[in-house]
Amino acid sequence: MDVLTKEQRRRNMQAIKGKETKIEIKLAKALWANGHRYRKNDKTVFGKPDLTFKKYKVAVFVDSEYWHGKNWDKEKFRIKSNRKFWWTKIESNIKRDKIVNKELKRQGWRILRFWGKEIDKKLELCIFKIEAELRKRSDA
């Protein structure tokens, strides 16, 4: 049973962003401050990564734990209402992420995926991983 009315739930769901999320902005600003230049949500790259470094063929995705199914086998049982819809939705997101990873790898891209909480709690480590990959790619 949903504790919100249909109208309240609709407004909540409409407010959820697909890009320019707080965690994405936090990572992007930190990278920019370190002198890195990137493209955001580049439509010319398969899967529209959140950040792309085309010169080095590095794609960065910032994934929300809920929408991208972190620990899905355990967490899916926390969903109480409209389970069939949400399970299908999140499982299709997980499947799409795998397809995007596979295609980008086939095209020679290096894919880095970070969970939102990882960026919130360990921003420096995320930046270190991105910078290490950029250095590796620039040396090659």
Residue 125 lies in a domain: yes
Q: What is the pLDDT of residue 13?
A: 65
User: pLDDT by residue (tens digit) across 57-88?
Assistant: 999 999 989 888 999 999 889 888 888 988 99
Checking if the pLDDT of 6 tops 80, the result is: no
User: pLDDT by residue (tens digit) across 91-136?
Assistant: 999 999 999 999 999 999 999 999 999 999 999 999 999 999 999 9
Closest to 51 (Cα-Cα) out of 134, 140, 139, 136: 134
Residue 118 lies in a domain: yes
Question: Which DSSP letter does residue 20 get?
Answer: S
Q: What is the pLDDT of residue 61?
A: 96
Q: What is the pLDDT of residue 2?
A: 64
pTM of the predicted structure, to 2 decimals: 0.85
Residue 123 lies in a domain: yes
Q: What is the pLDDT of residue 1?
A: 55
Residue 3 lies in a domain: no
Residue 38 lies in a domain: yes
Q: What's the domain range around 83? A: 18-139
Residue 11 lies in a domain: no
Greater model confidence, 132 or 138: 132
> How many domains is the chain partitioned into structurally?
1
Q: Any idea what the CATH number is for the domain that residue 46 is in?
A: 3.40.960.10
Q: What is the pLDDT of residue 17?
A: 62
Report d(CA 93, CA 74) in Å as an integer.
17
